[in-house]
Amino acid sequence: MRKSSLTLAAAFALAASQTWAADLPRKAPVYAPPPPPPMTWTGCYIGGNIGGAFGDANVTVPAGEVSRNGSGFAGGGQIGCDYQFAGGWVVGIRDMFDWTSNSKSAVIPFGPLAGGTVDFSNRWFNTLTGRLGYSVAPAWLFYFQGGAAWGNTNTTINFAGLQTGQTSNTRTGWTIGGGVEWMFAPHWSAFLEGNWMDFGSRSGVFVGPVVCPAGCAWNAKATEATVLVGVNYRFW
């Protein structure tokens, strides 16, 4: 009888302890955030840039050639897409449009137009390039690029206070360059790059009532180099 009473008491005590434990607040499980996705350059982006433009222009007039270097501001935006493959290799395509303040002037020192001036300016440029790069460490991308370039250039020739010749048009040329890009935060990257653009040459004839009554032929050529820094927002 005593043994049965002890057994019953033990069973009652066990049931009571389980009920009491069930009423206690339970500690919430620790939340473990999912691991971040692997860093990749695959995706499209849009961004802005700013920097310097350094141009060289020359015009061939009767008796010789006049050449002048100049520099100015460059700034604008870009849009493009990249694809990363085979580990660190990256291919992409990009379009960049920048305004520039690059202008320069030169005095004609020789020939029938001696004392006249030539004014050069480049108002904007647009480049459409493909690029090939390699990603290291893995937030850094070193790349090479090249493709087509368009620029709005203006050449004005003045003699004896009169404008005797002018060309203002959009020229088509080519560009080549390279740079480095750093992905400093999810979706954000910054770059530094340099580019060279050749817009070819244009020909024309200007008439001066005294020195060139029958018209003087001229030929103008323009090239541009840029050093740019920029930021991209990337869509993955």
Render pLDDT for 78-121 as a digit per residue (tens, 0 to 9): 999 999 998 899 999 999 999 998 877 777 776 666 777 777 78
Beta strands in 62-187 (DSSP E): 64-85, 89-107, 117-136, 140-159, 162-185
Mean pLDDT computed over every residue of the chain: 81
Render pLDDT for 183-193 as a digit per residue (tens, 0 to 9): 999 999 999 99
On whether the 40-235 domain is CATH 2.40.160.20, my answer is yes
Residues 203, 167: contact at Cβ < 8 Å?
A: no
Render pLDDT for 105-164 as a digit per residue (tens, 0 to 9): 777 776 666 777 777 788 899 999 999 999 998 899 999 999 999 998 877 777 777 666
Question: Residue range 212-231: average pLDDT?
Answer: 81
Render pLDDT for 27-70 as a digit per residue (tens, 0 to 9): 666 666 666 666 799 999 999 999 999 988 777 766 667 777 78
